Structure 1
Amino acid sequence: MLTLTFTAYDLTSIRFAFSPLREVAASVHALRTPAGRALHLPWMKHVRPKLTADLAPLLDLVPGGAYIPDFLCPIPASPAPDLAAELAALRALPDEVIRGDLDRMTSWPTCGPLEGAAADLYDDPPAGLPRLAEAVEAYWRLAIAPHWPRMRSLLEGDLLYRARQLAEHGPAGVFADMHPEIRWEDRRLCLEQRPEELSRALTGEGLLLIASVFVWPSLFHRTDSPGQAIITYPVRAIATLWERGTAPAPGALAAVIGRSRALLLGELDTPASTTELSRRTGLAPGSVSEQLTLLLAAGLVTKHRVGRVMLYVRTPRAQALLGD
């Protein structure tokens, strides 16, 4: 069992983020290792037939082993970075960083020797990095961009939820429902079924928690010293990502406050934007905004800005109206 032991300072240095480039890498890994990823099957069936040879600079770097090169899983510079900024940082990486990560990749028993475009990148990073960045952009347009508004809504909602849990309940609240392998006890974060030799006593570095769509149902971690400890965990409400349609509005409540407002409250078990609520419910964006304004005035929802997006979530008063 892997354990991370926190100082008092580390408890105040927990931060949350997501990373578009990590989603690219994790999604390729999901395509390579589809077993147990039933929730993503609709996406896989749509994307897999469209993969072409020009994506090899990316695909050859994620053969499906236990390690993904760290340069494809950057540390987010902000809670919600964009892909362009992460690709700019990728293009600027020194040769020794690229080769060091690829050496680490070949040292994992499940990865094997470098092949194809991965070997070319190792031999000539200055020539290979632009090709890799172009392949990432092409893959993004093909596999991620059509779904990114929904994915981003889930990711931003998760960041808001975790931050509220930390503020209201401390670390125990953050980790309580994060992943079955994660357990918090006595200033220690325990990861079941993970190598004990990667255990670590933090000394002020803090912990970075990165929400991810495609890491589900597992989690990624980087806890070796030096550097900040990082855990990439599955976003909440992942099962709703590929769903079509909406849940029915609670009948009795709809009769009192109206069907549209009851329908919106039913969807706000996780934070969501106006655009996302419009997609889920079929209501026009203007109508969603109007109904949310009324619910906000009645104290049934609250709103929070995350990056450039305003997210809404129902209040305990609304939860009491909805019942269990």
Structure 2
Amino acid sequence: MVRREGPDGPVRLAFSAGDLAQMRFAVSPMWEVGTSMRLLRSGAAHPVHGPWTAQVRPRLAAAGLDRGWLAELVAPKGFVPDFLNPAPDGPAPTLEQELARVREAPAAAVRRDLDRLAREQGRLGPRSRALYADPQGRLARVAEEVRQYWELALGPYWAQIRTVLDADVFHRSRQVAEQGAARLLNDLHSSLSWSDNALRLALRRRALSRSTAGSGLVLIPSAFTGPVPLTRVAPPEPPQLAYPARGTGSLWASRPAVAGTALAAVLGRSRARLLAELDTPASTSELAARTGLSPAGVSQYLTAMRDAGLVSAHRAGRSVLYARTAVGECLLTAGSA
């Protein structure tokens, strides 16, 4: 994953008819892991993700993840090891599918990425040095920490994030169907432009050619890439281009108060109230304090809604955070219409 300014003009990636035929979209959990961790490590206030960072940073510190494997591998800026972002096999791989690819990364590729990381950062941390010495033995540890990070930082919010990413893919796909691939590539970001059968990347410094990049192109909408696109080039896999997804600016916007009369008639007033309260993930005790319901009652209602697929549960230390699923989100939206 690279973000660099291009001093000698835009880098040019040529496209054949075959490359255009292989261009596709994918939603990648691992791209959100790396980019979100980088945002957290930067320590900077963010105009969009402030509500999310305020909730997540204390959880990571309590779990020690602010000084673990990911903290060494994902710097606040610059290169992120390519083995953390394998090319998605399909349009929406699960986290577990991508972690399986991470665990299977060739030792030579891991060491090559760590060599570059050492050059850019000046040195490797102790965990990164251990990974360099024994990639196959340590990648499982990295994958396990990624899973823990997901449970704390992204899993509880994934329904919201995924809604934004899917909406972007839907919009872009329709754009291709109605206006063609050239319009899509020109519209992705101001630093990207299409002409003469080539994509020009104004913010990439390293040279790029089909002999070094592989065929096709995987376009990855992301909520956490920041203001500019990121690229990942690791042939023979296709190059990846992660770009800021449309709608990210409203990702954490507060939902208007929901009357919920119709929804309460179906779910019951207490369940409907709890579903509406989950604009941000919360524990049983937090929800009980907000609603005035007993902790035992809240637990019972949440269990029923979890079994029905309306909420999901994510362990955060000694607590369990509950979050609305996509199904719960749709139900709440319909009930407030």
**1:50 maps to what in 2?**
59
Greater shift, 39-48 or 1-10, is seen at 1-10
Deviation at 1:148, TM superposition (A): 0.2
- Residue 93 of structure 2 aligns to a residue whose secondary structure is coil
Task: Give distance in 2, aligned partners of 1:5 and 1:181.
Answer: 16
User: What corresponds to 1:22 in structure 2?
Assistant: 31
Change (3 A) 1:194 1:35: farther
SS of residue paired to 2:227 = coil
Query: Residues of 1 paired with 2:95 and 2:157: CA distance?
Result: 14
One-letter amino acid of the structure 2 residue matched with residue 87 of structure 1: L
Query: Corresponding residue for 1:143?
Result: 153
2:7 matched to 1:5?
Answer: no
Separation of aligned partners in 1, 2:237 and 2:93: 20
1:172-206 CA-to-partner distances (Å, cap 9, x unmatched) read: 221243212112223221222322x4232579811
Paired AA for residue 99 in structure 1? R
Give runs of aligned pairs for residues 193-232 of structure 1, distance below 5 A: 193-195=203-205, 197-201=206-210, 205-223=215-233, 227-232=237-242
- Aligned partner of 2:320 in structure 1 is none
CA spacing shift, 1:225–1:123, aligned 2, 3 Å: closer
Aligned to 2:303: none
In the alignment, the residues of structure 1 paired with residue 210 and residue 21 of structure 2 have an alpha-carbon distance, to the nearest angstrom, of 15
Alpha-carbon distance in structure 2 between the residues aligned to 1:64 and 1:12: 35
Pairwise CA distance, 1:238: 0.5
Tell me how far apart the structure 2 counterparts of residues 61 and 224 of structure 1 sit (CA, whole Å): 17
Counterpart of 2:277? none
Q: TM-score, normalised by structure 1?
A: 0.72
* CA separation of 1:122 and 1:12: change in aligned 2, threshold 3 A: same
Seen in structure 2, the aligned counterparts of structure 1 residues 150 and 118 have a Cα distance that, compared at 3 Å, is same
User: Alpha-carbon deviation of 1:278?
Assistant: 4.2
The answer as to whether partners of 2:103 and 2:139 remain within 8 angstroms in 1 is yes
- 1:5-39 CA deviation, whole Å, 9 max, x = no partner? 21222222211102111211111111123557321
In the alignment, structure 1 residue 82 sits paired with structure 2 residue 94:
yes
Residue number in structure 2 paired with 1:154: 164
Deviation at 1:121, TM superposition (A): 1.3
Distance 2:217 2:101 in 1: 22
Spell out the pairing of 1:281-300 with structure 2 (5 A cutoff).
281=333, 283-284=334-335
Structure 1 residue matching 2:253: 3-state secondary structure: coil
Corresponding residue of 2:184: 174
Cα deviation, residue 106, structure 1: 1.9
Q: Distance in 2 between matches of 1:175 and 1:34?
A: 32
Moved more, 9-18 or 26-35: 26-35
**Deviation digits for residues 68-88 of structure 1 (CA, Å, limit 9, x no counterpart):** 001111110111000011112
SS at 1:209 equivalent: strand
Superposed CA deviations along residues 142-192 of structure 1, whole A, max 9, x for unmatched, are: 000110011111112222222221121112221243212112223221222
- Say which is worse superposed, 172-181 or 223-232, in terms of deviation: 223-232
Given the alignment, which residue of 74, 82, 92 partners 1:70? 82
**CA displacement at 1:225 relative to structure 2:** 5.9
> Are the counterparts in 2 of residues 14 and 209 from structure 1 also a CA contact under 8 Å?
yes
Aligned length: 257
Unaligned runs of 5+ in 2: 1-9, 258-325
Give the unaligned 5+ runs of structure 1: 248-272, 289-324
1:73-130 CA-partner distances (Å, limit 9, x unpaired): 111011100001111222222322221221122233xx22111322221122233212
Q: Contact 2:82–2:234 (CA<8 Å) still a contact in 1? A: no
Q: Given that residues 31 and 44 in structure 1 are in contact (C-alpha distance below 8 angstroms), is that contact kept between their aligned partners in structure 2? A: yes
CA distance in 1: counterparts of 2:151 and 2:327, whole angstroms: 24
Q: 1:224 to 1:134 in 2, by over 3 A?
A: closer
Identical pairs, percent: 39
Q: Could you tell me which of 196, 204, 217 is aligned with 1:186?
A: 196
Greater shift, 131-140 or 198-207, is seen at: 198-207
CA distance in 2, matches of 1:246, 1:239: 17
The residue aligned with 2:143 is 133
Deviation sequence 1:221-251 (CA, Å, 0-9, x none): 135765422211111111121011259xxxx
Superposed CA RMSD in Å reads 2.6
Q: Distance in 2 between matches of 1:224 and 1:98?
A: 12
Q: Give the conservation status (yes or no) of the 8 Å contact 1:24–1:136.
A: yes
